């Protein structure tokens, strides 16, 4: 199966799923909810980094549908000069449900600890995937 399609199918299977994560620390409790929407796949896959391809600015939901229908494939996006920037996302994203169902650590994300980052997030999930750390920012 095309590896871009494999990621999209995994993500599609989560669209009607909601994850609830309860974080408790020193009498404080936070209830996180993670939902999945077709529009989010574009960002998670990093397709916006492929600036030399039209899909980086196309309608995100439509791009997702075209990937699922086979109109956009890995062969389509590997033509980008920036493909190496997202290559490390394929394998973990095709196992996203397993990552979310596994034991992971949740941290409050502090941007001041990484001043060069442009990431806007409140929490960070860290999970092991095949001996490597995978990070999901919420």
- pLDDT tens, residue by residue, 33-62: 889 999 999 999 999 999 999 999 999 999
pLDDT band for position 135 (50/70/90)?
Answer: confident
The structure's pTM equals 0.83
What does the H/E/C string look like for 75-97? HHHCCCCCHHHCHHHHHHHCCHH
Rounded to whole angstroms, what are the CA distances from 15 to 34, 36, 37, 114, 133? 10, 5, 6, 31, 24
Rounded to whole angstroms, what are the CA distances from 123 to 23, 24, 120? 10, 13, 9
Burial class (CB in 10 A: 0-12, 13-18, 19+), 7: buried
Pairing type for strands 105-108 and 123-129 reads antiparallel
Neighbours of 98 (CB within 10 A): 12
Residue 108 has pLDDT above 70, yes or no: no
Q: What is the pLDDT of residue 106?
A: 65
């Amino acid at each position: 199966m095309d590896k871009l399609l494999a990621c999209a199918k995994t993500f599609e299977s989560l669209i009607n799923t909601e994850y609830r994560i309860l974080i408790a620390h020193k009498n404080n409790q936070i209830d996180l909810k993670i939902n999945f929407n077709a529009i989010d796949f574009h960002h998670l896959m990093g397709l916006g980094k492929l600036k030399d391809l039209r899909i980086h600015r196309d309608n995100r939901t439509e791009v997702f549908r075209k990937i699922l229908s086979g109109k956009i494939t890995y062969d389509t996006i590997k033509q980008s000069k920036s493909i190496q920037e997202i290559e490390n996302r394929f394998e973990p994203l095709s196992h996203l449900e397993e990552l979310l169902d596994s034991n992971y650590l949740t941290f409050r994300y502090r941007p001041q600890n990484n001043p060069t980052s442009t990431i806007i997030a409140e929490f960070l999930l860290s999970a092991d995937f095949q001996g490597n750390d995978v990070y999901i920012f919420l």
